[in-house]
Amino acid sequence: MNLKDKIKIILLIVCFLFTSSCATVITSVMPPTTFVKKGDVKLGPVISYDFNIQPIENNIYRVIQIPICEQEQRVFVVQKKQTRGPLAALVELPIFGLGLVDWVVADAVAQNSKKVVDKGYVPTGEFKKCGAPSPAKGIEVVVQFPLSGSEKKLYTDENGNLDLNPLFASYPNSSVNLFVRRGGMTYYLTSIYVP
Amino acid sequence: MRKIIIFLLPILFFLYTSCTAAQEILRLSTSAQIADGFGMDVIKEFEAKHNIKVQVFICCSNTALQRLINGFSDLACVAFKLPVKYIEQGYVEIPFAKDPLAIIVNKNNKIENITTYQIRQIFSGQISNWNDIGGIDQEIYTIIPNTRTALYKNFQVLVLQQLPISWDFQSYLSINVIKLVANLKNGIGFISNGALKNKVGVKILKVNSKSITDKDYPYFQTFSFVTKGRPNRNAKEFINAALSKRGREIIISKGMYPIF
């Protein structure tokens, strides 16, 4: 082995030392990146109601309530190192084919660094109907008389019915607005013209 | 190839139109003082929460009502009581807030309190110098909103008891009264308290020693929603947004009182 060959071998070893495992080292050294992965969607608990009114008889109405839920989505926070150094692995490839090994190891390092934190279900801000309509029993209904600015409180019976006959007898030729009051919230129901 | 394009074009057109029509629209015409005092904040939050775009037209209450009558709006916000003839015709009035009517002067004016009698004298032209009510010896400039606005009519009914109003300056939109009073050292005007939040250059006078925050303050306007027939789904959603906890918070934060 002459000097030229020795230099070649030394250069190859130096190349091997400097280039092998580059992608693995870069992948290991770089900090992990964090991203959010979204999971399945479900409806949360009932947070409010949508109210409707149905005429039953002359001036007797049934108040119907439809539960409203907020949509929730499962969220995972994923922390993972990214596989880096593809160029280094490519350079290493002609040298004993080590580039491929380096890339596989770098990818394994990245996969091993993966940490998933389940943040549970979080509200999406979308509201959907989440139950069958049912009569609103014993609910407070506010009757507003816009002309006089006065209000009257009524309650629905066990069938969700509201008898407006006694009230309308006292206030002919007026328009009234009906509101449902539940849990400190007021919902507009409908307006009725009293002939 | 041509056949494929001819086949695909209607499909693409259908997809485009169905995508663009996805967001629903609520056409709202509102009195400027309601928009400034309350509406714009509620609209922003309403649009963010619901998939409904609100097309707002800001004008005076009378124009807002006319736009509703002529089918240009789904919902009108007005600052006057709806005349009985409209209720008989099937229009729905839903009062939602009460707003104190503020008497304002330039911030450099030394006057702090005014009586109902003095207001009547000033705005009917019987008094024309600040000296007559304990101020400096300078002419009083009366500033009023457009005579078609609800604010003008409410002031005439509530304060002047139908007396004709004498004025020096008139603004087209009621909220511009604030700018005029802020720029005129000897100006006096009146405006919805809700429109006054974060406005500079003006001072609110006590009336009969009652502060504008007092429950027994003498002058209140009523703000109402008006719809042609029963409110449609989008209008109902908007009304409920105004009645909601957040809507009430906005009304209170602007110095107004929610009806519910």
CA distance B48 to chain A (A): 10
Question: Is there a contact between B236 and A185 if contact means CB atoms under 8 Å apart?
Answer: no
Closest among A80, A101, A105, A79 to A92, alpha carbons compared: A101
CA distance B95 to chain A (A): 6
Residue B246 CA to residue B230 CA, distance in Å, equals: 24
CB A125 within 8 A of CB A118: no
Q: What is the pLDDT of residue B74?
A: 95
| Whole-number percent of chain B with pLDDT over 70 | 90
CB B56 within 8 A of CB B26: no
CA distance B2 to chain A (A): 42
In a domain, A160, yes or no: yes
How far is the CA of B208 from the CAs of A144, B112, B119, B127, B134, in angstroms? 31, 11, 10, 18, 15
CATH 3.40.190.10 boundaries in chain B: 2-98+222-258, 99-207
Residue B50, pLDDT above cutoff 70: yes
In angstroms, the first-to-last Cα distance of chain A is: 117
Question: Is there a contact between A193 and B90 if contact means CB atoms under 8 Å apart?
Answer: yes
Question: Is there a contact between B243 and A186 if contact means CB atoms under 8 Å apart?
Answer: yes
For B49, which residue in chain A has the nearest alpha carbon? A125
CA distance B82 to chain A (A): 8
Q: What is the pLDDT of residue A96?
A: 60
Q: State the total domains in chain A.
A: 1
CB A28 within 8 A of CB A21: no
Q: Which backbone phi and psi does B80 adopt, to 5 degrees? A: -135, 165
CB A24 within 8 A of CB A96: no
CB atoms within 10 A of CB B5: 9
Nearest to A187 among B93, B231, B243 (CB): B243
Question: Is there a contact between A179 and B230 if contact means CB atoms under 8 Å apart?
Answer: no
In a domain, A191, yes or no: yes
Question: How long is chain B?
Answer: 260
Closest among A132, A125, A129, A118 to A40, alpha carbons compared: A118
Question: Is there a contact between A175 and B92 if contact means CB atoms under 8 Å apart?
Answer: yes
CB B74 within 8 A of CB B235: yes
For A49, which residue in chain B has the nearest alpha carbon? B240
Question: How long is chain A?
Answer: 195
Cα-based torsion angle of the residue sequence B41, B46, B47, B50 in order, rounded to the nearest 10 degrees: 170
Class of domain B2-98+222-258: alpha beta
Q: What is the pLDDT of residue A85?
A: 79
For A185, which residue in chain B has the nearest alpha carbon? B244
Q: What is the pLDDT of residue A132?
A: 92
Q: What is the pLDDT of residue B224?
A: 93
Residue B226, pLDDT above cutoff 60: yes
Question: Which CATH superfamily includes the segment(s) B99-207?
Answer: Periplasmic binding protein-like II (3.40.190.10)
**Structural domain range at position A175:** 136-195
| Residue B145 CA from chain centroid, whole number | 12
Question: Is there a contact between B94 and A147 if contact means CB atoms under 8 Å apart?
Answer: no
Beta bridge partners of A34: A79
Q: Is B144 helix (H, G, I), strand (E, B) or coil?
A: strand
**Each residue of B15-33: pLDDT tens digit?**
454 444 457 899 999 988 8
Q: What is the pLDDT of residue B180?
A: 93
Q: State the pairing for strand pair B169-171/B202-204.
A: unpaired
pLDDT tier at B172, thresholds 50, 70, 90: confident
pLDDT tier at A86, thresholds 50, 70, 90: confident
- A150 at B interface, C-beta within 8 A: no
- A184 at B interface, C-beta within 8 A: yes
Average pLDDT over residues B107-122: 93
Q: Which backbone phi and psi does A113 adopt, to 5 degrees? A: -80, -5
In a domain, A26, yes or no: no
